[in-house]
Amino acid sequence: MAGIVVFGAGGRAGRAVTDEARRRGHRVTAVVRDPGRYPEPGADGVTVARGDVTDPGAVAEVVGGHAAAVHAVSPFSGPEQGFDSLDPEFFVKAADALLGGLAGAGVGRLVAVGLFAHLVGADGRAVMDDPAAFPAEIRPFALAHAAGLRRLREATERGGEAGAGVDWVMLTPPARLEVGAPRTGRYRLGGERAPDADAWLSYADLAVAVLDEIETPTLHRTRVSVFNSAGPGDAGS
């Protein structure tokens, strides 16, 4: 298989996806904003490229020649960061740049990492619309993220080169997405609903799901939840 281009490759999800891709023997182009800060510039089979996912020209420049792309970018890494500099259109711009760039380069598959906040809760509302379930101060980020999903769906409805040419899927982890938790190799796929409160997932297993959907696509132009309902302590190997 031709290589995989990973946007946000220096982040938590992006590193896990890059590791899983390398474990399976794929060549990876790791797209980061500042290659000097990328932790493993010389990793075997990994080429580091500079790129901003919201810049259509930069995306178009790096995606050619790959079989699939991964969108693991986040402009927000934690509440301490605040939202003063958050662009509400960030994920919309990223969706446009990715769909346009991938379609133009003939890259047919995009796997994006979602956010649990806009999955649907038990009462039928988005999780982010329930102040008891989701902190109001993080809502601007959740709204921006949800707008990116809407953009992917609109592109599909509109058709055209970008909408028809790129088979995207958004895999959405549960609220408990654990850094450093083990790779079990197992996960479950849900639908639009948020999984039960005890659901969790390691970044490593999120990456397993991402790579499975690249190697053998089963989900097309849709958003689903991905989770592991066993506790981290029950993880196998």
- The contact set with ligand NAP (CB under 6 A) reads 7-8, 10-14, 32-34, 37, 52-54, 72-75, 77, 113, 115-116, 145, 173, 175, 177
Q: Are strands 3-7 and 46-50 parallel, antiparallel or unpaired?
A: unpaired
Smallest distance, ligand NAP to C-beta of residue 61, A: 13
Q: Which is nearer to ligand NAP, 140 or 158 (CB)?
A: 140
Q: How many CB atoms lie within 10 A of CB 199?
A: 20
| Residue with the CB atom nearest ligand NAP in the bound state | 11
Q: Which is nearer to ligand NAP, 68 or 113 (CB)?
A: 113
Backbone angles phi, psi at 225, to 5 degrees: -90, 150
Q: Do 114 and 172 contact (CB within 8 A), yes or no?
A: yes
Smallest distance, ligand NAP to C-beta of residue 73, A: 4
Tokens 């379930």: give the residue: 133
Give CA–CA dist 30/120, Å, rounded: 32
Q: Which is nearer to ligand NAP, 81 or 159 (CB)?
A: 81
Q: Which is nearer to ligand NAP, 150 or 158 (CB)?
A: 150
Tokens 């346009």: give the residue: 100
Smallest distance, ligand NAP to C-beta of residue 159, A: 26
What the block records as the tokens of 152 is 């992917």
Q: Which is nearer to ligand NAP, 33 or 188 (CB)?
A: 33
What the block records as the tokens of 86 is 């958050």
Write the burial class of residue 149 (CB in 10 Å: 0-12 exposed, 13-18 middle, 19+ buried).
buried
Paired strand residues for 71: 7, 112
